[in-house]
Amino acid sequence: MKNNFILILSFILLFNSLLSANQVKYLTADYKPKKINVGEDITYVVKYFAFEIGEVRLKVISTTTDNNDTLYSAIAYIDSYYGIPFVDLHQIYETKFDQKQNSRYFKGTILKNDTTFTTYQYNKNNQTIHVKKGRERTKEIWTDSLAKSDKEYLDGLSLFYYARMRTGLQKKLTVPVFINEKFEKTHINFYKENEDQDIDAVDYDIDCVYLDGETEFRGIFGLTGYFEGWFSNDEFAIPIRAKMQVIIGSITLELKNWNKKEWMPPKYKD
């Protein structure tokens, strides 16, 4: 059940600024670049059938410069609601990535009495990934190793931002993801046709663009197999709803609230 809940994350946000040169080849004449602001703070409710079982909160923390690369920092909090049978889940995921959403740093923390963590630190110059796994409280480290990487990659959280930045394209893309100390693939199908979505947070249908895809792995977020996502059809490409298949069935993540004062979900027009 824990892995199933974590999978929720595996399709939420995806992000920032103008498209990089690596993205230009995917553009069409009517495509509008996506953007997101530092300070963005978005919360989603997680539903299993008619039951609300928890929330996912996503924040864009900051930007920094490293060797002429602009890096974005984002964080995701996953929390199950108190009293949900068989679910007591509290986790934090952090990422730093460049303008192409390639990962530079990732950390996953499992909060419990014996809190554990996993970090991946990519050294672009040496083409290595420093992997560490251990316990927070005792500082015990049981994995401290280097993995060779001759290519750039996404991590489990920057993958979401990669997808968000490319919504509205009419393309099929396959991207490398470093997860569970291995290189895996995610296949994403982007569509430019708009669709309507109805959520509890607003009293009208939202204008969205759609994507779907499939992973070849079971990741730290529990994401495995087929997934779907709907994003606002505007320059911010805010994730509105996501659906994923898990062991227990279908999980839905739905936009609950946001702090973007300049943004409201765009209205769908027939």
Beta carbons within 8 Å of 40's beta carbon, 6+ residues apart: 15, 58, 59, 60, 258, 259, 260
Low-confidence winner among 8-12, 73-77, 151-155 (lowest mean pLDDT): 8-12
Mean predicted lDDT score pLDDT of the chain: 85
pLDDT (tens digit per residue) in 232-255: 999 999 999 999 876 656 789 999
Which pLDDT does position 31 carry in this prediction? 64
Residue 162 within a domain: yes
Residue 264 within a domain: no
Taking 80 as the threshold, does the pLDDT of residue 3 lie above it? Answer: no
pLDDT range class, residue 219, cuts 50, 70, 90 = low
pLDDT range class, residue 180, cuts 50, 70, 90 = confident
Interval 158-182 mean pLDDT: 93
Taking 70 as the threshold, does the pLDDT of residue 258 lie above it? Answer: yes
Tell me the pTM.
0.86
Interval 64-68 mean pLDDT: 87
pLDDT range class, residue 14, cuts 50, 70, 90 = very low
Which pLDDT does position 9 carry in this prediction? 43
Q: Cβ(238)–Cβ(265) under 8 Å?
A: yes
Q: Report the largest interatomic distance among the alpha carbons of the chain, rounded to a whole angstrom.
A: 58
pLDDT (tens digit per residue) in 109-139: 999 889 999 999 999 889 999 999 999 989 9
Torsion sign, CA atoms 63, 253, 45, 10: negative
Q: How far is the C-alpha of 4 from the C-alpha of 51, rounded, in Å?
A: 14
Residue 266 within a domain: no
HEC assignment per residue over the chain: CHHHHHHHHHHCCCCCCCCCHHHHCCCCCCCCCCCCCCCCEEEEEEEECCEEEEEEEEEEEEEEEECCEEEEEEEEEEEECCCCCCCCCEEEEEEEECCCCCEEEEEEEECCCCCEEEEEEEECCCCEEEEEEEECCCCCEEEEEEEECCCCCECCCHHHHHHHHCCCCCEEEEEEEEECCEEEEEEEEEEEEEEEECCCCCCCCEEEEEEEEEECCCCCCCCCEEEEEEEECCCCCCEEEEEEEECCEEEEEEEEEECCCCCCCCECCC
Residue 118 within a domain: yes
φ, ψ of residue 140 to 5 degrees: the values are: -70, 135
Residue 195 within a domain: yes
Which pLDDT does position 84 carry in this prediction? 83
Interval 57-78 mean pLDDT: 93
Residue 226 within a domain: yes
Q: How far is the C-alpha of 259 from the C-alpha of 82, rounded, in Å?
A: 25
Low-confidence winner among 3-12, 158-167, 219-228, 256-265 (lowest mean pLDDT): 3-12
Residue 30 within a domain: yes
pLDDT (tens digit per residue) in 165-174: 999 999 999 9
Q: How far is the C-alpha of 165 from the C-alpha of 100, rounded, in Å?
A: 9
Which pLDDT does position 30 carry in this prediction? 57
Q: How far is the C-alpha of 101 from the C-alpha of 95, rounded, in Å?
A: 10
Beta carbons within 8 Å of 139's beta carbon, 6+ residues apart: none
Q: Which domain holds residue 237?
A: 2-258
Q: What is the total count of domains within the chain?
A: 1
Which pLDDT does position 21 carry in this prediction? 34
Residue 171 within a domain: yes
Interval 170-183 mean pLDDT: 92
pLDDT (tens digit per residue) in 31-61: 677 887 899 999 999 998 889 999 999 999 9
